[in-house]
Amino acid sequence: MSPDPAIRSAYLAWIAVCLIWGTTYLGIRVALETIPPGLVGGIRYAIAGVVLAAILRVRGERLPARAHWGGLTLLGFLMIGLGNGGVIWAEQWVPSGIAAVVVASGPFWMAAIESLAPDGERFGRRVLLGLLIGFAGIIALVWPDLTAGGEVGRQFAVGLVALQVACVGWALGSSYSKRHAREENALGAAALQMLFGGLLMLAFASVRGEWADLAFTRRSLAAEVYLIVFGSLVGYTAYVYALKHLPVSTVSMYAYVNPVIAVSLGALLLGEPFGWRVVIASAMVLAGIAVVRMGPGAQGSSLRAGLVLRSKA
3 — pLDDT class (breaks 50, 70, 90): low
24: CB partners within 8 A, 6+ apart = 227, 231, 235, 313
- SS3 of 36, please? coil
On the question of pLDDT at 299 being above 60, the answer is: no
Distance CA 232, CA 257 (A): 18
Which residue segment(s) compose the domain that 285 sits in?
5-309
Q: Report pLDDT digits (tens) over 26-64.
A: 999 999 999 999 999 999 999 999 999 999 999 998 888
Compute, in degrees rounded to 10, the torsion defined by CA atoms 145, 146, 152, 156.
100
CA distances from 270 to 29, 165, 279 (A): 9, 25, 17
Cα pseudo-dihedral 142, 143, 147, 150, rounded to 10 = -10
In terms of average pLDDT, the best of 8-17, 84-93, 246-255 is: 84-93
Note the pLDDT of residue 46.
96
**Is residue 143's pLDDT more than 70?**
yes
Indicate whether 313 pLDDT > 60.
no
Could you report the per-residue pLDDT of 194-212, keeping only the tens digit for each? 999 999 999 999 999 999 9
pLDDT tens digits, one per residue of 55-87: 999 999 888 888 888 988 998 999 899 999 999
| Pick from 18, 95, 11: nearest CA to 256 | 18
Chain-centre distance for alpha carbon 177:
15
Q: Compute the distance between CA of residue 168 and CA of residue 173 in angstroms, rounded to an integer.
A: 8
Q: In this predicted structure, which of 23-37, 154-168, 282-296 has the lowest mean pLDDT?
A: 282-296
Rounded Cα distance between 88 and 92, Å, is 7
| Other residues' Cβ atoms within 10 Å of the Cβ of residue 225 | 16
DSSP state, residue 78 = I
Closest CA to 48 of 213, 202, 217: 202
The Cα 83–Cα 238 span in angstroms is 20
Angle among Cα 72, 7, 53 to the nearest 5 degrees reads 25
Contact 249, 304 (CB under 8 A): yes
Residue 145 has pLDDT above 80, yes or no: no
Higher pLDDT, 135 or 88: 88
pLDDT level of residue 251 (50, 70, 90 thresholds): confident
At 312 the pLDDT is 46
- Helix, strand, coil percentages (3-state) for the chain, rounded to 5, are 80, 0, 20
**Length of the chain, in residues:** 313
Say what the pLDDT of residue 119 is.
Answer: 64
Say yes or no to pLDDT of 114 above 90: no
- Give the residue, 96 or 293, on which the prediction is more confident: 96
Model pTM above 0.95: no
Of the ranges 6-10, 81-85, 296-300, which one carries the lowest mean pLDDT score? 296-300
**Once rounded to an integer, what is the mean pLDDT over residues 253-273?**
84
Number of domains the chain contains? 1
